[in-house]
Every structure is written in C-alpha cells, then in structure tokens.
Amino acid sequence: MMDIQKIRSDFKILDQNVNDKPLVYLDNAATSQTPKQVIDALVGYYELDNANVHRGVHTLAGRATDAYEAARAKVARFLNARVTSEIIFTRGTTTALNLVADSYGEANISAGDEIVISYLEHHSNLIPWQQLAKRKGAILKYLDLEKDGTITVEQAEQVITEKTKIVALAHVSNVLGSITPIKEIAKVAHKHGAVIVVDGAQAVPHLKVDVQDLDADFYAFSGHKMLGPTGTGALYGKRELLEDMEPTEFGGEMIDFVELYDSTWKELPWKFEPGTPIIGGQIALGAAIDYLEAVGIDHIHQHEIELAGYAIEKMQTISGLEIYGPLDPVKRCGLVTFNLTGVHPHDVATVLDEEGIAIRAGHHCAQPLMKWLDTSSTARASFYLYNTKEEIDALIQGLELTKEYFGL
Ligand code: C6P
C-alpha cells in the first residue's frame, strides 16, 4: 500500500495555491514533479562533488565519475539490461530515438526497405523515421489502430514483412494511455529479421519495464517524466547492436585516439556520449529511480489504474464529454484524454487553471493521431503516484463549471 500523504510531503511544489485554489497537478505526462530526495541529490552533487567526469585524477573528479557511473548502473538494473554498458545517457527520449535513426538506421536502411511505425506515435518517434525514409528511399508504413486506439499483434502481423528492417513503437501512448503489446510484436519483428525500437517515455515512469523480457532491441525514455530532472534520460540498446554502430556526434570524451586524419572511439557506452554530459542531472535521475523503487513501480501502476478508472467513471457522467482511448483502465496507464463538445480544449484548460487545476491541451505532439481521432486537439489529465481521488473530484467539478461558464 502507498502512503500518498507521506509521498506528497516529499513534493513541496504540490503544497501551494494557484489562483487562490489548492494546486491540482494533472499534467504528469508532460513532466512529473521532483521530490526532495531528487533535488537533494542534484544540490548535493553541486555542493560537494562538482567536477567533470572521466577526465581528472583529482578526488572530486573521481567522486563525480563514480556517482555518474553508479546512476548508469541503477538505470541498467531498473530496466533489467544485461550489462551496464548497454545504457547510453541522453538528454531524453527524443535524443535517444534520433540516435538510433541516425546511427543504426543510417547504416542498415536502404532503398525499398520498410520502416513500420503506428498512427499513435509521438512526433519524436515519427519524424526521425520519416526523415530517414526520405533520405534512403525507404518506405514508411503505419500500423492502423483498433476503434479504441489500441495496437494489436494481428495488425503487426499484417503489416510487418520480410522487407521490414525497423519497427518503432510507443510502449504507452501519450494521448490514449493505451499499452502496446511490445513483447508479442517484438516476436513478429524478429521473425522477419527486423529490430524493434521502443519509445518508453510514457511507460518507464508507470510500468515495470524489463528490456530482456520484452526482447526490445532499443528502448528510450526520459528522466523528467519519472521524477528526475529535465535534460536526462537514456537509450538502452542490445550490446551486439551498439557495438556495430557508429557515433553520430563527435568531440571530447568519446574518443580513444585522435590523429590528424583519423580517430578511434572509446568502448561502449562512452563512444555515444560526446562532450561533458549532464552529470548532476543523471545522478539525480539515479535518485529518482531509488525513489520509484522504494515506493514500488507495481504499486504506482496499480494506483494509476484506480485513478484512471475513477476518472473515467466520473467523466462518463458528464454529458457532451468524449473520452479517447480504451475505457478499461487495465488497458491503459494513468491518463485520460477527452473533449467537451462545444468548448475548445484550450478554453477547458484555461477555466481549469482558474480553479488551480493543471492539465494539458493541444495536439500533444501527435498530429497524425489527432487526424485519426478526427479532431485537431484534445484536453488531457494525467496522473502520477502523488495524485488522489479528491483531486479527480476537483477536476470533475472544474469540468462542470466549464460547461456552466460556456452555457452548456
Ligand atoms: N511527451 C507530452 O506531454 P522528451 O521531450 O524527449 O522528453 O519526450 C518526448 C516524448 C516521446 N514519446 C512520448 C510517447 C512522449 O510522450 C514524449 C513527450 C510530452 O505528452 C511532451 S510533448
């Protein structure tokens, strides 16, 4: 069982009024809040250990390097990677996915090859593949979605062929909250000799992710959606794939020897980490993992199922409110995307903000999905471990007020 009040006491930011109302923060899919323990790790690094990593022989450099590499080991353990060197620190999901497209994609995609993605992808898992396909004369194919927005293995079986070289899918949709059956689709991809790249931005914060069990070839996530600082995150890749890949950025830290007309690279993972990394940030990401593990990721997932189920049940009583994605909370993570007929989602978000309630409105960086849903934008409430049913009650009241405000 989770002690929500105890958890909330670690998040000072939650204890404030916004527009004279208690803050109800329901925009966790955009970015989560940061507990004291993570802030302390960041401040502790700057107050006591600040130095560049992998370069100096002095004590602070040693401490900074040890803490940075210890954070990498935590990420490896959290995702159940085989070895720590399979974890490349990145600025987040977007950078990680671009790295795979620009390195693995560049070397392995030729004219006529197929890259398979889906209609629900975030732009970060769409544009890198779109641009790669354009550069190479490859074919970008889309998995269609079921009526409730979910992706099925049957769809994948129909679309993935012998020509498919890369399958790139979100583990959890940032709009629909739906969970993609990655493990089963990985089997289909591998049967056809393709690799599977997983966008885990909305999964790692909420679900137990085991990259070996999923048999993912690459797996990307962001630290700021899982209690860590912005500018942090990582790419997991199977060692044998990463070994064969070329860096896409060059400079200090990533080289072994540099001569006038040629250079060689460091071993994994450092050949993919040029320049001074986000040292304090990644150390704090390690502290975020400690926090999530102490609470228990399975407990967090269960809590979110309950919150999403409660929110969906209450929202269904509001006339003119359309919910997108599967209605069964077990099929999704803790977010609910919706529209109120006759009110633009930005207006919904603005009225709610007046009530101290933070939600997101817009296309959520998923324009093809908006088209598929036959809308230009939606409102989205997204939950995390510190949210409560009382906060969902406040959201529901706020939505009723929005309807009144617009005379509906
Ligand atoms: N989605 C949202 O409000 P970055 O920006 O690199 O940390 O994450 C990008 C990203 C990739 N994939 C998915 C599924 C995502 O949800 C996101 C970020 C935020 O939905 C900001 S648009």
* Residue ranges of domains in the chain: 4-30+296-405, 39-293
**Nearest protein CA to atom 16 of ligand 1, as residue:** 174
**Rg, the chain, Cα only:** 22
| Mutation probe of ligand 1 site: the residue of 93, 178, 182, 367 with most atoms within 8 A of C-beta | 93
Q: What is the CATH number of domain 39-293?
A: 3.40.640.10
Q: At what angle do helices 345-354 and 389-405 cross, to 10 degrees?
A: 120
The band of 168, judged by pLDDT with boundaries at 50, 70 and 90, is: very high
What pLDDT, in 10s, does the model give residues 275-326?
Answer: 999 999 999 999 999 999 999 999 999 999 999 999 999 999 999 999 999 9
Cα-to-centroid distance, 88 and ligand 1 (Å): 18
Locate 309 and state its tokens. Answer: 């189920």
Contact by Cβ (8 Å): 334, 180: no
Let me know if 365 is a catalytic residue: yes
Cα-to-centroid distance, 221 and ligand 1 (Å): 9
What pLDDT, in 10s, does the model give residues 111-135?
Answer: 999 999 999 999 999 999 999 999 9
**Nearest protein CA to atom 3 of ligand 1, as residue:** 30
pLDDT in the model for residue 1 = 79
User: How many angstroms separate the CA atoms of 53 and 87, rounded?
Assistant: 17
Residue 332 CA, distance from chain mean position = 14
What pLDDT, in 10s, does the model give residues 335-344?
Answer: 999 999 999 9
Residue type, 248: T
Nearest Cα to Cα of residue 282 among 98, 64, 84: 64
User: How many angstroms separate the CA atoms of 195 and 29, rounded?
Assistant: 27
Ligand 1 pocket at CB < 6 A = 29-30, 92-94, 122, 124-125, 170, 174, 199, 201-202, 222, 360, 364-365
Q: How far is CA 233 from CA 46, 93, 227, in A?
A: 19, 7, 11
**2-32 residues labelled b (16+ CB within 10 A) or e (exposed):** eeeeebbebbeebeeeeeeeebbbbbbbbbb
The band of 55, judged by pLDDT with boundaries at 50, 70 and 90, is: confident
Q: How many residues does the chain have?
A: 408
Residue 33 CA, distance from chain mean position = 14
pTM of the model: 0.98
pLDDT in the model for residue 344 = 97
Residue 264 CA neighbour count, 13 Å, CB half:
4
pLDDT in the model for residue 54 = 87
Query: What is 4-30+296-405's CATH number, 3.60.110.10, 3.90.1150.10, 3.40.718.10, 2.60.40.10?
Result: 3.90.1150.10
Residue 253 has pLDDT above 80, yes or no: yes
What pLDDT, in 10s, does the model give residues 259-281?
Answer: 999 999 999 999 999 999 999 99
